[in-house]
Amino acid sequence: MPATGTVEVLFSPWDDAEGAIIRLLGQAKQSIHVQAFLLTSRSIAKGLQDAHLRGVKVEVLADREMLNKGENSLLPKLAAAGIPLWLETRYASAHNKVILIDAEDERGTVITGSYNFTWSAQARNAENLLILQANPTLTRRYLDNWRRHRAEAQKYQGATNEQQ
């Protein structure tokens, strides 16, 4: 795969990885695709909701077990706000941490790394975050993978999913 575009590397807690994510969510024009192991960051959840309210198509995939165990998960709040949510059940752990922004655009963005979308990832953990922009081949691979996972996932139905 050819190396094109730009690469930004951040390491928490020293770099403001959460701030970089929020900035990029604010720049989204068409779509945001999320794969989350855990999402408890109020700021990131607000960035997703704000994008949704601006008319950006926001869709989220998440690990069902972490949703069930995570008392602070903001995923139900996103679903209640009208953001489509699917839960991954096939894997022992759906451990992806990916955000794709405007993935079908030539200048699309892939955000990935060890960084969970949580307050602890920014403030307490040693994490890494890569922001890869303007590499359409790479972005397409991530989008195709996101779609493959969504095809296997269960649409979130509120409490009914949590009881399974």
All domains of the chain in start order, with CATH: 6-156 (3.30.870.10)
Q: Is 95 a catalytic residue?
A: yes
**Residue 38 CA neighbour count, 13 Å, CB half:** 16
Q: Is 102 a catalytic residue?
A: yes
Catalytic residue among 95, 105, 149, 155: 95
Q: Is 144 a catalytic residue?
A: no
- Residue 45 in 3-state DSSP? helix
Q: Identify which of 108, 163, 93, 164 has the alpha carbon closest to the alpha carbon of residue 141.
A: 108
**pLDDT digit of tens for each residue in the chain (164 aa)?**
888 999 999 999 999 999 999 999 999 999 999 999 999 999 999 999 999 999 999 999 999 988 888 778 999 999 999 999 999 999 889 999 999 999 999 999 999 999 999 999 999 999 999 999 999 999 999 999 999 999 999 999 875 444 44
